[in-house]
Amino acid sequence: MLSLPPFQALIDDHWRDVARLARALAGPVDGDDVAQRAWEKAFAAYPNLTSARNLRSWLLTITARCATDVHRARKPQTPLDDAPPIAVDGPEAADFPDPELWQAVKDLPERQRVAVTLKYVGDLDHHGVAAALDTTPAASRRLVSDALATLRTKLGVDHD
């Protein structure tokens, strides 16, 4: 019989990682909903786990997939020309200290954006990134490398 820690212990140990990744992948508006959905999916799947190895990676994989689901579910919105602007509280400046960088990350193709975010925000190795994206570690390395090359070019960063 597999010995898993209580689910609350898993939450206590990893809630910051899940929230941080959800916010980085889905943005400040949808990040909390993505994190909540990830915890719901993790809770439902937890009793059926066959391995307790690297639960953090398992949680971050679920979070990345939930964020991808949110992006796919979005329908293009047509603004109403005559509607008054709505004031919405935005993220704190400290949440995104380099808006130019985060905009460049947001503009990356989806798989590159998810891969580079999992690698550097989620702190996953290429095996973890590959598992989250249903690909190989070699493909993960390529996605991250291509994303970094695009970001360097877009931001004018010399990487020599």
Domain boundaries, the chain: 1-74, 99-160
Query: Among candidates 7, 9, 10, which has minimal Cα distance to 47?
Result: 7
What is the pLDDT tens value at each position of the chain, 160 positions in all? 678 889 999 999 999 999 999 988 888 888 999 999 999 999 999 999 988 888 998 999 999 999 888 877 765 555 555 655 544 444 444 555 677 887 888 888 988 988 998 898 888 889 888 888 888 999 999 999 999 999 999 888 876 5
pLDDT of residue 2: 76
- Cβ–Cβ < 8 Å for 21, 118: yes
Given this structure, which CATH class describes domain 99-160?
A: mainly alpha
Q: What is the dihedral of CA 91, 130, 75, 36, to 10 degrees?
A: -50
Residues composing the chain: 160
pLDDT of residue 159: 60
**In angstroms, what CA-CA distances link 135 with 24, 128, 141?**
21, 10, 10
Q: How far apart are CA 22 and CA 63, in angstroms?
A: 6
DSSP 96: S
Given this structure, which CATH class describes domain 1-74?
A: mainly alpha
- Cβ–Cβ < 8 Å for 63, 16: no
pLDDT of residue 145: 94
